[in-house]
Structure 1
Amino acid sequence: MLKAASTPTEETSLQQENGQAPKPWRNRPYHRLWLTGQARTLFDTFQFASVNPLGGFYELDDDGQPIKDENGSGTRNLHATSRLIFSFCVAKALGHPGADEVIDHGMDYLWSGHRDPENGGYFWGVGDDGPVDPSKQAYGHAFVLLAAASAKRVGHPDADRLLADIVPLLKERFWEERHGAVAEEFTANWQPLGAPYRGQNSNMHLTEALMAGYEATGDETLLRMAESIADLLIRRITGANDWRLPEHFNENWELDLAYKGSEMFRPAGSTPGHWLEWSRLLAQLWVAGSRRHDWMMEAASTLFHNAVRDGWDPEYGGFFYTVGFDGRPLNTEKMWWPACEGIGAAAFLHDLTGDAFFEDWYQRIWNFTTAHVLERPNGRWIPQIDRELEVNTSLFSGQPDIYHSLQACLIPLFPAKGSLLDCALAEANAG
């Protein structure tokens, strides 16, 4: 089995030694066309294969075909529905034909399929005959806000209705002012679900969604909520933990180092992919907050450096799925999404700082991804490979929704001035 290259870009190093300053990849015309082509393949695949005529979206198999149950349909999960809406709002901003129909389809199903008309909130999993998993998850509700805010930015007629529903719901049902973050999960009628648990993942994605909500509405309380979550999870908790991001907590936001839940969504240890995701979100939050909080950029850089130090496999390349709090790998599988988040973070941070370290890692991660994650010739993103870079399906299979991979392709095309959608719309409206 081929191992990953040990150096990011020998070409760049040689040119720097000779006093030259090569353009970053994302500023080179060919690379920009290549990125656009990858994004177009993602849009085309999901636009024509994922739309379920009974409402919502199909998951796709390895060949890009709908995964159906015995009734010819399948369960629709709240985060996947919402993330496809967001993705095709970006598609619309870019001028991708047919994006409107996908947005309409998803927005209709969020309201008529996922929404609980009796108790309020949004069911996590829904089938043809109603809820399959009626729980109310902060993770899923964060993506509903992202979908609503994105739909408003592209002028969808139902966006204000959805925003008017989801924003008060998040504030009244999930937000815990004493902690400055959200609770995790409830039953359909809003009773606590299971043992008391607080998680960083749902709060991280809510930070992203709150920034989108702020961009869409100008409501500064949403920005302050995002800053509050970042302050709790990153400045205070992660900063006190040698800058290794903890994932799992009790109801008082005390670390639960022994916790082990779902290996897919709540694995033991820490997830370097989330360090990378936070590094970009912190930099974006710093920009959104008028660059008031200098600690955010320092933390963003530190998280990125630590992620590539602890999380990158020095022998085979790629990011380990989880590491312990001593920095040693726990789950050595490599998923597609940490590579995506590393690409986006490296591009964003290089644009803000000009530090060649981030450009080198941008190139290194793309080189690894094209060699081992992007399947040719169909452009499928392989969701999971093992340590020695063989395809594995212990946690993920088929074709994952395009939320992570799309952002890896498109974030590098824009300056680090806001969210992907905000930058796409700014370019569309320029001149």
Structure 2
Amino acid sequence: MTTTGDSPQSASWISLPSHRAWLDREGDRLLAFAEAAGSASTGFAWLDDEGRPDAAQAPQLWITARMTHVFALAHLRGRPGAGPLVDTGLAALTGPFRDAEHGGWYSSLTPPGEPAATAKSAYDHAFVVLAAASATAAGRPGAADLLQEALAVVEQHFWRDDEGRSVESWDRTWTELEAYRGANSNMHTVEAFLTVAAVTGDERWLARATSIAERLVHTAARDNGWRLPEHFDPEWRPLPDYNAERKNDKFRPYGSTPGHWLEWSRLLLHLEAALGADAPDWLLPDARSLFDAAVEVGWAPDGEPGFVYTLDWSDRPVVASRLHWVLTEAIGAAGALVRRTGEPGYERWYRTFWDEAVTRFVDRDRGSWVHELPVGDADAVWTGKPDVYHAYQATLLPQLPLAPVLAAALRQEPGAG
């Protein structure tokens, strides 16, 4: 395994009460920034660099769902005011974002709350499931009903038993299916299914999460030297040139994305822990391989610290900008590997990643984290600081067991509710 040095290591940071206290303070700081996003009737707003709702950005389903999830976690942690913000998100998910005629949820709204983008995407719906499951764990009114509705939509329209994965997106009426399959939406579907299984006790969702992971990681990524293909045709054949003309796409960039290798690494460890004695023996080795590949070719490939956003198929940077979410997922993966293995190499990376975060990404003046550090003259991927989902989870994951995941783990803590 690649490490950052060979010096002796002291006790793991994740076991230190002082480090956990620091993580809690950072999490509180992120939540204080994010609270301003919950003032709209259309759910949670996209925030600018100063933490103000950005009127130029349409209300997005993925932001409202992710922030509902975040504040459900905060409520379970005992943060006053977080519960009503969960309810704000639930009201938007059961109100203007919900397609009462055809089922499912709109991707975006106009500022007054009318449907704008009406395609139904697996990525967005995975976050609706996640939000509803976390809000259910938090005991918020209406969350359990929303969860059952969201799961029914996913089962009916997105999940494919014959493919062992989810399809990508439909038109509003569920009649036209996009001729594309995506790894990103399926990765977040695994995240959602892990949470559903932990909150409801229904192990069907673990079996489906395992099916997705086996096909996308243990087969597609392993067969490609752990450079996970992100884009596929309807027969799940990789599309290596997909979006070659839109290399900096927010959700479907050209090439391979080391941040997703790191995210998958952590999710495999959650899955292994959730399955217990029934876990396939490839989950831990694959988690290691993904992490090692990411730090080997994604960390500082141009001689400067940090992970690049994307690589081509010869491991050369395509979009070299440093995105905050990639670093947060590196923190989560390293912390999970420390917890799973206790090995000092992962501890060194965990500390390195937090040092990088504090040095270059944590914004003490304006709040939250800088979402993107540009490199070269490439067009920006992100504007503002849309949400705190990735960063807030980075402050929680090192403090919690690998299973049950997040909301279910917090629900078990004394006094949670």
TM over 0.5: yes
Q: What amino acid does structure 2 have at the position aligned with 1:185?
A: S
Q: Give the unaligned 5+ runs of structure 2.
A: none
The counterpart of 1:307, out of the listed 294, 301, 309, is 294
Q: Is the 8 A contact 1:276 1:303 kept in 2?
A: yes
Deviation per residue, 1:321-352 (Å, 9 max, x gap): 01122222221111000100000110011111
CA RMSD of aligned residues (A): 1.9
Residues 35 and 378 from structure 1, CA distance in 2 versus in 1: closer, same or farther, beyond 3 angstroms? farther
Q: What amino acid does structure 2 have at the position aligned with 1:150?
A: S
Give the equivalent residue in structure 1 for 2:242.
Answer: 259
Q: Work out the CA distance in 1 between the residues paired with 2:227 and 2:153.
A: 31
Moved more, 350-359 or 123-132: 123-132
Structure 1 residue 76: Cα displacement: 1.5
Give the equivalent residue in structure 1 for 2:118.
Answer: 134
Q: Is the 8 A contact 2:45 2:63 kept in 1?
A: no
Structure 1 residue 193: Cα displacement: 5.1
Q: Give the unaligned 5+ runs of structure 1.
A: 1-6
The counterpart of 1:95, out of the listed 65, 73, 78, is 78
Q: Is the 8 A contact 1:8 1:363 kept in 2?
A: no
Structure 1 residue 415: Cα displacement: 3.0
Structure 1 residue 393: Cα displacement: 7.0
The counterpart of 1:55, out of the listed 24, 38, 42, is 42
How many residue pairs get aligned? The number is 409
Higher RCO (CA 8 Å, separation ≥ 6 residues)? 2
Q: Is the 8 A contact 2:45 2:64 kept in 1?
A: no
Give the equivalent residue in structure 2 for 1:158.
Answer: 142
Q: Is the 8 A contact 2:49 2:366 kept in 1?
A: no
- The structure 1 segments of at least 4 consecutive aligned residues displaced by more than 6 Å after TM superposition are none
Does 2:134 match 1:168? no
SS at match of 1:50: helix
Q: Work out the CA distance in 2 between the residues paired with 1:380 and 1:220.
A: 36
* Structure-to-structure mapping, 1:236-247, within 5 angstroms: 236-247=219-230
Q: Work out the CA distance in 2 between the residues paired with 1:303 and 1:297.
A: 10
Q: Is the 8 A contact 1:349 1:358 kept in 2?
A: yes
Give the equivalent residue in structure 1 for 2:132.
Answer: 148
SS at match of 2:115: strand
* Structure-to-structure mapping, 1:225-244, within 5 angstroms: 225-244=208-227
Q: Work out the CA distance in 2 between the residues paired with 1:330 and 1:428.
A: 47
* Structure-to-structure mapping, 1:283-322, within 5 angstroms: 283-291=269-277, 292-314=279-301, 315-322=303-310
* Structure-to-structure mapping, 1:333-352, within 5 angstroms: 333-352=321-340
Q: Is the 8 A contact 1:284 1:419 kept in 2?
A: yes
Give the equivalent residue in structure 2 for 1:32.
Answer: 20
Structure 1 residue 221: Cα displacement: 1.4
Q: Work out the CA distance in 2 between the residues paired with 1:294 and 1:135.
A: 38
Give the equivalent residue in structure 2 for 1:386.
Answer: 374
The counterpart of 1:222, out of the listed 198, 201, 205, is 205
TM-score, normalised with respect to structure 1 = 0.91
TM-score, normalised with respect to structure 2 = 0.94
The counterpart of 1:419, out of the listed 405, 413, 416, is 405
Q: Work out the CA distance in 1 between the residues paired with 2:367 and 2:202.
A: 39
Give the equivalent residue in structure 1 for 2:64.
Answer: 81
Q: Is the 8 A contact 1:381 1:400 kept in 2?
A: no
Q: What amino acid does structure 2 have at the position aligned with 1:90?
A: L
Q: Is the 8 A contact 2:63 2:387 kept in 1?
A: yes
